[in-house]
Amino acid sequence: MENNPLDSFSVWIVAIDYALGVVMWTLIGRAAMNIFLAEDSDFFFMKVFVKSTDPIIRFFAPVTPGFLIKPLVPLFVAWFFYMLRFYLMPWLLGYSVMGMLSFPLEGEVARMLYTVFGGGAGQ
């Protein structure tokens, strides 16, 4: 039995969650890539991560603690997006907290991975 996020939530809720999820995972990706590459690297994907997340990091600069080392700042900002998705969105929409891995974006990715590596959707 396939659980489609659109069966449980309206399209705009799923779209907002997908947008917040993409921002959150892009920030996490930037922090992960920063382990291996400098922020000013010529590698195309690092440039994309830095260019797409710099405005978000600047927006959160007033609430970012000064003691954080620069490579951890994207993770700190990603934490805000996680909190929005996990606590604020369900509360504003009148739902209880949905639980780990019940986000529509991550649910779709997990379903796709299960289909590719776990033997199909019919199981």
The residue behind tokens 């490579």 is 71
Task: Tell me how far apart the alpha carbons of residues 95 and 24 are, in angstroms, rounded to a whole number.
Answer: 21
C-alpha 105/C-alpha 103 separation (Å) is: 6
Give the global pTM.
0.77
Q: Tell me, what DSSP letter sits at residue 96?
A: P
Q: How far apart are the first and last CA of the chain?
A: 8
Per-residue pLDDT of the chain (123 residues; tens, 9 = 90+): 456 655 666 777 778 888 999 999 999 999 999 999 999 999 999 999 999 999 999 999 999 999 999 999 999 999 999 988 887 777 776 665 555 445 777 778 878 888 888 765 554
For 94: left if phi > 0, alpha if psi spans -120 to 50, otherwise beta; the answer is left
